[in-house]
Chains A and B, each alone.
Chain A
């Protein structure tokens, strides 16, 4: 089997994968990073979203080998020294989650959005969340959390 070498959450990692292995399975089953969720498995729900070289992607719609030598960030890589990432903290403070299944994907998408536009308006955030489904919150507290993390009080 081919060897995949990439950086995950700042650490150089390598593992054997099949040519057909999807990135989400390499992360979960190969590296034990189960914070990246498989939701729909059809590129609709966004629960599997990770950052690939800083940009949000759906890891169920990438072959693992496409990420060779890339920098991948998963939800496990956000907190530093026990301190939550500001977007994680905002989700806690604004009740941006209920069951939590969609949350890792939501947070990683939010980080991409805020990297491009640190003070997004409501419409920008809602448009950006098109590819992340949540069945609990009704989205309102998620939008508020993301805007708050960007420094725009809702």
Chain B
């Protein structure tokens, strides 16, 4: 399989990338682990592919009660980032280490994945549970959005045509918090049939993000029992997992993620 004819532009600066993306039907190429696959299937046929892979948007920085993750930080880098080693943010590294396979984790980026928002991708659930924000840059402006407002539907975000995700901002949870990600994967594709991320605070407050079960990853309403919150979700079914089975899997992974996050919050060894 070979992509349809396209024009390739390698951006050497953010301004250059934003300028190239101003063309109609331009697509940004980060690690390419989603985009190149769908280019080959000719699901998308952009006129120009703007390679942003060499921009200086990598790495994890901490400060002011936040972690700022460059959009081009790969799964492999996140899985081994010392800033994510503690129990409070364990879900991020744990999720990153379970995505795709070794080769995909060497190339795939957090910014690319969040902008692609496959309804069954793993990391959006973690970002929702942790209350992450995305930083979006255009030539004229920069804005910051809660990820819950960024994801709008399957493969659809509020990213403007001439905008790029440049950073992901994670509020550092209060000391004594724990987080976890659990999923049941489709054995061949590796995508989540149901995935859940949980954050448990030192006071027992819980936040849960789910993926793989509905048209878009979402956060369960805070303060509502997760099991009843799941009842309110329009779970989809397909030939791999009918809706009722997926709903059951969702209950299971939510419970597992909450239990693991709670035991991490209490400093228990797993």
Contacts and interface: CB of A to CB of B under 8 A. Distances in A.
Interface of A: 2, 18-22, 25, 41-44, 46, 49, 52, 55-58, 60-63, 65-66, 68, 109, 112-113, 128-132
Interface stretch (B101-109, B117-125, B176-184, B216-224): B101-109
22 contacts: A19-B7, A20-B4, A21-B2, A41-B1, A41-B40, A42-B37, A49-B103, A56-B102, A56-B106, A57-B103, A57-B107, A61-B33, A61-B37, A63-B29, A63-B32, A63-B49, A112-B106, A128-B102, A130-B101, A131-B100, A131-B101, A132-B101
Contacts of A20: 2-6, 8, 39
B190 interface: yes
Given A58-B104, A65-B10, 11 more contacts: A19-B5, A19-B49, A52-B106, A55-B76, A55-B106, A63-B3, A65-B8, A66-B29, A109-B102, A112-B106, A131-B103
A21 B10 CA distance: 15
Nearest to B190: A130
Main secondary structure of the interface of B (DSSP, over half): mixed
Main secondary structure of the interface of A (DSSP, over half): mixed
B53 interface: yes
Contacts of B190: 130
**Range, interface on chain B:** 20 to 34
A55 B104 CA distance: 11
